[in-house]
Structure 1
Amino acid sequence: MTRSLDALEQALDDWRGAGPFVLGLCGAQGSGKSTLSAALEQRLKVRGVRAAVLSLDDLYLSHDRRQALARAVHPLFAVRGAPGTHDVPQGLALVEAAKAGQDVLLPRFDKATDDPAPEAGWTRAQGPLDVLIFEGWCVGARPQAEADLVAPVNDLEARCDPDGVWRRYANGALAGAYADLFARIDRLVLLAAPGFEVVARWRLQQEQALRAQAPDGARVMSDAEVARFIQHYERLTRHILSDMPSYADLTLRLDEDRRLKDLS
């Protein structure tokens, strides 16, 4: 990770000027984006740069709001992850507050309860920030062309979304509210996995590590559950790996062990 961190820090130094700067960091599940973001935040703080991290994962809608979306649009929206399952207005308000030099209250989502954590557990970043690192698995993603939505990409889509309602709604969200949010990013960095097959293996490794550390009775996914869960992310992850290198300001290409292979 050190080489990726060095490259990211150097790029950020070259990019930012006076005033708050929003750095977007996109990376598939298991790519190390959260670890990299935290390490960059600490490096910047050591240098006296006021920095904070906003994670897209902490903007998930509550369980009840996703259940309502599942009833109104498509059952797959009960599962957090796809565009449409985040509180985009909340994210937009946070990013605009950071750009205005205000204090920012960074939310936290509790995946154990499948709900936002109580506000008492959120983190207040005192403004004005110099850098807000906005990281997430689809940060900066652009929508797919309509023709690319026709055929399912995996068994989940074929069985549960044969008419494409779920994927078209998510794609429409990317073209609308998410595009407004991502437009506030000053520079975008892609942490690029070698391919989706590697991403699936990384996500399985994450869950296996959690399983090994979890206390008796804790709820963790089986290998079969992970395999199904990752299918919710497959379409957009493949699209990002194909599309985003053409417009990201920096692409850090990783090998299968998450080491930096090259950059552009």
Structure 2
Amino acid sequence: MQALMCASMADTAPSIADLIAAQLPERGARRPFVLGIAGAQGSGKSTVARELAIRLGCPVLSLDDLYLDGAARRTLAAEVHPLLATRGVPGTHDPARGLRVIEALAKPETTLLPRFDKARDEPAPPEPWQGPANIVILEGWCLGARPQPEDELVKPLNALEAERDPDGIWRHWVNARLANYRALFERIDLLVFLAAPDFEIVGKWRAEQEHALKRARGEDAGMSATELATFIQHYQRLTEHMLRHGREWADMTIALNAKRRAVGVSR
């Protein structure tokens, strides 16, 4: 459908949280109702999720909270491919755990929400939530993503793939692992996709996050510019795939400009 806003309206348009809240039903067909928010790194999905959680009084679960611990990723690195030591891509999460947590939130008991400490690159202590929850927000960079056709995986996309995955073992394995996420993605009742203008802006947004981390924790915190450039290349293939097709998979797409403001909405 046609976008409902244009770039000239961006400064006066409703907030992204307002746009999403307006689409939520008073009561979902099943409990908890799962609102999924997908978007590239730095697109603001975590901020929007927190704002909505405060409004709705509901828990937030991030795909990042489902990362495997360092030992599990080191095992994958040794047995499958060295690039799997780095968190982020499909295959470095435990999606089945996320599904179990969502179903547990339907019960009138305390559920332990998994959390992940990115500074330590290891799981953090879980956060208790007293159920039942009528709604839960699930946010993550690749929610709803579907595998790429095999022929799109043949040619390396960037320097990381060309130099460290020349035979394509890593990217083919990652692509195949998306099948393990299907049950979690299908549990989402409303999937919202925050669409970045392009992949180039994703790198700039992610750099802003690193600079904020350094301001908050000191210059030794976070990644250097070189480390960040390499890190982002792990995400590039699937991020660009989502930018091409995410609108087809989502129930609602909110187009963003370079300042992360909504400039268009389609359903």
Contact 2:213 2:221 in 1 (8 A): no
Show the counterpart of 1:254. 256
Contact 2:119 2:222 in 1 (8 A): no
Show the counterpart of 1:48. none
The 2-side partners of 1:55 and 1:257 are apart by 23
The 2-side partners of 1:198 and 1:62 are apart by 29
Deviation at 1:59, TM superposition (A): 0.7
- Which stretch of the first structure deviates more once superposed, 177-186 or 99-108? 99-108
Show the counterpart of 1:239. 241
Residue of 66, 75, 79 corresponding to 1:68: 75
Deviation at 1:14, TM superposition (A): 6.7
Distance 1:125 1:2, change over 3 A: farther
Give secondary structure in 2 for the equivalent of 1:5: helix
Code of the aligned partner of 1:141: A
Distance 1:151 1:99, change over 3 A: farther
Give secondary structure in 2 for the equivalent of 1:30: coil
Contact 1:28 1:193 in 2 (8 A): yes
Residue of 205, 222, 227 corresponding to 1:202: 205
Show the counterpart of 2:123. 116
Displaced runs of 4+ in structure 1, greater than 4 A? 99-102
Alignment of 1:3-14 (within 5 A): 3-13=15-25
Show the counterpart of 1:131. 135
Give secondary structure in 2 for the equivalent of 1:108: strand
Residue of 169, 177, 181 corresponding to 1:178: 181
- Which stretch of the first structure deviates more once superposed, 240-249 or 14-23? 14-23
Contact 2:32 2:103 in 1 (8 A): no
Alignment of 1:9-48 (within 5 A): 9-13=21-25, 16-17=28-29, 19-45=31-57
Contact 2:32 2:102 in 1 (8 A): no
- Unmatched 5+ stretches in structure 2: 1-12
The 1-side partners of 2:72 and 2:184 are apart by 20
Contact 1:25 1:190 in 2 (8 A): yes
TM-score by length of 1: 0.91
Give secondary structure in 2 for the equivalent of 1:112: coil
The 2-side partners of 1:172 and 1:65 are apart by 18
Contact 2:106 2:134 in 1 (8 A): no
Show the counterpart of 1:163. 167
Contact 2:64 2:140 in 1 (8 A): yes
Distance 1:139 1:18, change over 3 A: closer
The 2-side partners of 1:10 and 1:99 are apart by 23
- Unmatched 5+ stretches in structure 1: 46-50
Give secondary structure in 2 for the equivalent of 1:152: coil
The 2-side partners of 1:184 and 1:170 are apart by 21
RMSD: 1.7
The 1-side partners of 2:240 and 2:30 are apart by 36
The 1-side partners of 2:14 and 2:90 are apart by 31
How many equivalent residue pairs?
254
